[in-house]
Amino acid sequence: MNKLNLLKPNKENLNTYLYIGSFLFFIAVLDVFLGSFFQINITSFLPNFVGFILPLILGVVGLHLIRIEFSGIPKLDLLNKNINTNTFNAILTLLIIFVIIKSIPPIMSWFIIDANIAGDTKEACTGTGACWTYIKIWLRRFVYGMYPNELQWRINISFFLLIALAFVGLIPSEKLKKFLTLYYVIIYPIIAFILIYYLISGGAFGLEWVETGAWGGLSLTFIVSFFCLIFCFPVGMFLALGRRSTLPTIRYISVGFIEFWRGVPLITVLFMSSVMFPMFLPEDFFMDKLVRVIIAISLFEAAYVAEVIRGGLQALPRGQYDAAKSLGMGYWKMHIFVILPQALKLVIPGIANTFLALVKDTPLIFVVGLLEIVGMLNLAKTNPKWLGFAMEGYVFAAIIFWIICYAMSKYSYNLELKYKTER
Amino acid sequence: MNIKKIIPQLVTALVVILIFGFFTYNAQINMDNRGITFGYGFLSQESSFDVQFSLIEYDGSHSYARAYLVGLLNTLLVAFIGIIISTILGVIIGIARLSPNYLIERSAAFYVEFFRNIPLLLQIFFWYFAALRALPLPQDADAIFGVSFLTIKGLFVPRFVWENLDIFFYSIMAAIISIIVIRNYARKLQENEGKQLPVFLISSGLLIVLPLLTFIIGGVSLNFEIPVIKQLSTTSFVYEGGLGIPPELIALTLALALYTATFIAECVRAGIQGISKGQKEAAASIGLTPNQVLKLVIMPQALRIIIPPTTNQYLNLTKNSSLAAAIAYPDLVLVFAGTALMQTGRAIEIVSITMFTYLSISLSISLLMNWYNKKIAIKEK
């Protein structure tokens, strides 16, 4: 057996190094694990500070000992290459592992173990963890706002229909395929508007009228994002074309419009729509608060969409324009059939980002007094019967928003891959 | 000029003019009906409302114009602190995303995906209403390093009390100027004779020694005023002395910085990834040290990609700071477009001033950016 050199591990005593190293590493992790999960301090005989730093030292030494290049064991090589390239990396690795181990028990106990969900009053929450009873009782309000309970089926049905109608494009029928764009750009928004106007709002066909002030919660988030998404896209497209136009008047107007909206925060735009805009309209003219908000957000996001689409238009080689023109196409024909399909394909990620920003901006409508989910949370938080559960509410809303946004970003990534054409 | 080009322009211009005319006409009628006249004269009137947190002296007897200034300064303060923290955090996370260490890379990715996909307003509410409300009351707070207190009423830190501060500033300015001179001299020396001066050592030495000298011979002195808890009644305690940072400011900057850092991290990552590997290898092969490779070859090119989108993020942060209104931090929107508007009822004037302020900040920075982009663009032959 060769002499062991603990400072410089080498291949000759591979197994010895491996055993000592992994043992030390194991002890380090075990110490933290026991301390965190079972409150057992196996190093209690040591001074406080030493006991605290000991796992790190043991771990670093352990990882140092198993850092052997070209050991011939594939798994060990992979481990060294990925988390254990040098001492600095080893320390970071250990810190991350320790933080994860340390943070699991408190998070688990808050979310599940010590949490309460039974009962329907505040008194049911006795544990030290989260009080999901609060979410359970208020769930209806968080999803439907102040919409009357017995009428909520109308929201459900219209959302169900809207989702079902959105999947029409998946039915492959060669004959109808050329109408798909027309359907999505013009017919679908109209159907959506009619559905929401007559079904959710009511007031006709014997359905009870529900004013928009009562709408709220997650369903309002969806309604606002949905309409803004539908409206801002065509407006943004025209603005982008306007900015690239050779006609100076149109170009300057588009530039001015885009730069104006991009330069101001959304909150001031909403302020404008609520306090300044009514001054600009005839006195007897009434426009619903929700409609004003949707118009304001749509124009605001349209400016961002316009800039994204302009990026796509600029990225297209000149040859595409020349080729289309040489075929005798006019301005609109050229753009609809040659330029826009290619440009839009290029900017899918950018557009998806703008739409994500739109969804994340919807909570701002609290400025004009519309309460979507975050607004409802703030309302519920101040209810005297349910004081002190702000954390649960925000965590709940954060989870919902996170799922929506993460799903959207993953979907856009897939779209990007799907439409990626070799150029 | 043919007719096909003139007609669309005429129509567009006409439509825009008609819309503006319609709005102005209605605004005129509405204001006449309410008996108010358009004008910015109200700015010099006494505001008669108070603002909780202000960087300059302000109370109800000051004018609306002063209230505007208070709001603007508070907005800029949040933006400034937020930009610094988010840049530091964003650069670290961005570099961590490129780490060969799997765990570090995943942690950074987790951070980015987590904070990016939750609305900023929700994060601000979370910090303000949930996280910071869990802090101890002033009388129960433990001292951090013996001098600072983090309580539900905010963060209380020692205040610097300077004497002859101006001399100190002059010394720093002198140090910076001499560093620039030395750098130029060192560059010339290297280009002409190939000699290298330890520029970094000299500059850091100058930056430390010159200000220190002012303490010894310049009569500059620095004292700390440590916050002390004081009992007002049996249940109410306040801190006296020191510098109090309100919880609104903490929650807002924290949320803004954590949120914007995710975007800056992505910019940094894209910038570093955008440099082809060949650049690094080529630089190494002509004998540059790893530090020189980073400083002279990688960073100048990566910064060209990083800086424009990052400036955009800074602008977004500044605009997002208007969310302060949601947690009652007295920024421009809350003080001016909120309180002042409620009191005067001058919707058109106040909203237009507020928007114009944000617009001029944004436009001036984008103009600066366009100039910078032109300056650093690769000059292709």
Q: Is B133 on the interface with A (CB under 8 A)?
A: yes
- In this prediction, residue A421 carries a pLDDT of 63
B229: left (phi over 0), alpha (psi -120 to 50) or beta: beta
- The predicted pLDDT at position A107 comes to 87
In the three-class reduction of DSSP (H, G, I as helix; E, B as strand; rest coil), residue B287 is classed as coil
Beta bridge partners of B159: B225
Residue B68 belongs to a domain: yes
Let me know if residue B14 belongs to a domain: no
pLDDT, residue B1, reads: 59
Q: How does DSSP classify residue A382?
A: T
Largest interatomic CA distance in chain B: 85
Looking at residue B194, its pLDDT comes to 79
Three-class SS of residue A191? helix
Q: Say whether both B214 and B265 belong to one domain.
A: no
**pLDDT value at position B254?**
93
Q: In this predicted structure, what is the pLDDT of residue A206? A: 65
User: Cα separations (Å) of A206 from A19, A144, A156, A190, A199?
Assistant: 79, 21, 18, 22, 10
Do B279 and B301 meet the contact criterion of CB atoms below 8 Å apart? Answer: yes
> pLDDT at position A1, please?
46
Q: H or E segment at B221? A: strand B221-225
CB-based contacts of A326, cutoff 8 Å, min separation 6: none
What is d(CA A123, CA B352) in angstroms, rounded to the nearest whole number? Answer: 50
Do B192 and B339 fall into the same domain?
Answer: no
Select from A404, A196, A374 the least CA-distant residue to A291.
A196
Is residue B254 classed as helix, strand or coil in its secondary structure?
helix
Task: Based on the fold, state whether residues B169 and B298 are members of the same structural domain.
Answer: no
- Note the CATH number of domain A132-147+210-418: 1.10.3720.10
Q: What letter does residue B377 receive in the DSSP assignment?
A: S
Q: Which of A207, A126, A115, A192 is nearest to A159 (CA)?
A: A192
pLDDT at A422: 52
Domain range list for chain A: 14-113, 132-147+210-418
Residues B270, B250: Cα–Cα separation, whole Å: 30
pLDDT value at position B47?
A: 77
Q: Does residue B93 lie within any of the structural domains?
A: yes
Residues of chain B positioned with their CB less than 8 A from the CB of A276? 347-348, 351-352
Pairing of strands B243-245, B228-231: unpaired
Q: How far is CA A234 from the centre of its chain?
A: 23
How far does A421 lie from chain B, in Å, by closest CA? 21
Whether residue B167 is contained in a domain is answered as yes
- Residue B317: what pLDDT? 92
Tell me, what CATH number does B304's domain have?
Answer: 1.10.3720.10
How distant, in Å, are the alpha carbons of A239, A338, B7, B16 from that of B11?
Answer: 16, 26, 6, 9
- The lowest-confidence range among A84-93, A325-334, B242-251, B371-380 is B371-380
CA distance B163 to B167: 9
Which candidate from A259, A279, A394 shows the least CB-CB separation from B363?
A259
Tokens of B76: 């800029």
Which contacts (CB < 8 Å, 24+ apart) does range A101-108 have?
A: A101/A29, A101/A32, A101/A33, A101/A36, A101/A37, A102/A32, A102/A36, A104/A36, A104/A37, A105/A36, A105/A37
Is B190 domain-assigned? yes
| Number of independent structural domains in chain B | 2
The pLDDT of residue A109 is 84
pLDDT bin (cut points 50, 70, 90) of residue A147 is confident
Query: A247, B8: Cβ pair inside 8 Å?
Result: yes
Instruction: Determine the Cα–Cα distance for residues A220 and A371; give it in Å rounded to an integer.
Output: 8
pLDDT (average), residues B211-234: 77
pLDDT digits (tens, 9 = 90+) for A186-243: 778 888 888 777 777 766 676 677 777 778 788 888 888 988 988 888 899 999 999 8
Q: How far is A397 from chain B (nearest CA, A)?
A: 8
C-alpha distance from B340 to closest chain A C-alpha (Å): 13
> Is B166 in the same domain as B281?
no
Measure CA A294 to chain center: 20
User: What's the mean per-residue pLDDT of chain B?
Assistant: 85
Q: Where are the beta strands (DSSP E) in A94-233?
A: none
B322 within domain boundaries: yes
Q: Which residues contact B21 (CB under 8 A, 6 or more apart)?
A: none
How wide is the angle at C-alpha A89 spanned by C-alphas A88 and A92, nearest 5°?
Answer: 90
Contact call for B121 and A374, based on CB within 8 A: yes
The most confident of A304-308, A389-393, B144-148, by mean pLDDT: A304-308
Asked whether the beta carbons of B26 and A287 are under 8 A apart, the reply is no
Q: What is the residue type of A420?
A: K
CB B367 within 8 A of CB B359: no
Q: Say whether both B184 and B333 belong to one domain.
A: no
A423 vs A217, more confident: A217
Which of residues 323 through 382 in chain A touch B, CB cutoff 8 A? 356, 359-364, 366-367, 374, 377-378, 381
**Res. B132 pLDDT band, cuts 50 70 90:** confident
Residue B355: inside a domain: yes
How high is the pLDDT of residue B110? Answer: 93
- What is the domain extent for residue B105? 64-124+245-376
Q: Which of A39-48, B189-198, B244-253 has the lowest mean pLDDT?
A: A39-48
Whether the pLDDT of residue B140 is over 80: the answer is no
Q: Which residue has the higher pLDDT, A294 or B165?
A: A294
Which one has a higher pLDDT value, A97 or B161?
A97
pLDDT > 90? residue A303? yes
- Cα separation, B79 vs B56, in Å, equals 17
Highest mean pLDDT among A70-79, B70-79, B332-341: B70-79
Residue B345 is encoded by which pair of tokens?
A: 């009822």
Q: Which residues from A are below 8 Å from B363, CB to CB?
A: 259, 263
Q: Do A96 and B107 touch (CB under 8 A)?
A: yes
A183 CB near a chain B CB, below 8 Å? no
Reported confidence tier of residue A399, pLDDT bands at 50, 70, 90:
very high
User: Contact at 8 Å (CB) between A151 and A201?
Assistant: no
SS3 call for A17:
helix
CA A57 to mean position of chain CA atoms: 40
Alpha-carbon distance values, A339 to A21, A325, B212 (Å):
62, 11, 65
Percent of chain A with pLDDT over 70: 93
- How far, CA to CA in Å, does A380 sit from each of A78, A116, A129, B127, B294? 51, 18, 19, 17, 53
Across the interface, whether the CB atoms of B119 and A283 are under 8 A apart is answered no
Over residues B179-193, the mean pLDDT reads 88
Element (H, E) at B155: strand B154-157
Per the CB < 8 Å rule, is A409 touching B117? yes
Average pLDDT over residues A60-72: 80
Dihedral angle, C-alpha A295, A299, A305, A309, nearest 10 °: 120
Does A423 score more than 70 pLDDT? no
Per-residue tokens: B119: 């609305």
pTM: 0.87
Residue A7 phi, psi dihedral angles, 5° rounding: -80, -30
Q: Which pLDDT value is given to residue A247?
A: 86
Residue of chain A with shortest Cα separation from B13: A249
ipTM reported for the complex, 2 dp: 0.86
DSSP A200: I
Alpha carbons B340 and B40: distance in angstroms, whole number: 13
Q: Are A391 and B128 in contact (CB under 8 A)?
A: no
Report the percentage of chain B scoring pLDDT > 90.
Answer: 22
CA of A169: how far to CAs of A173, A179, A183, A188, B203, in Å? 9, 10, 9, 11, 66
Does residue B171 form part of some domain?
yes
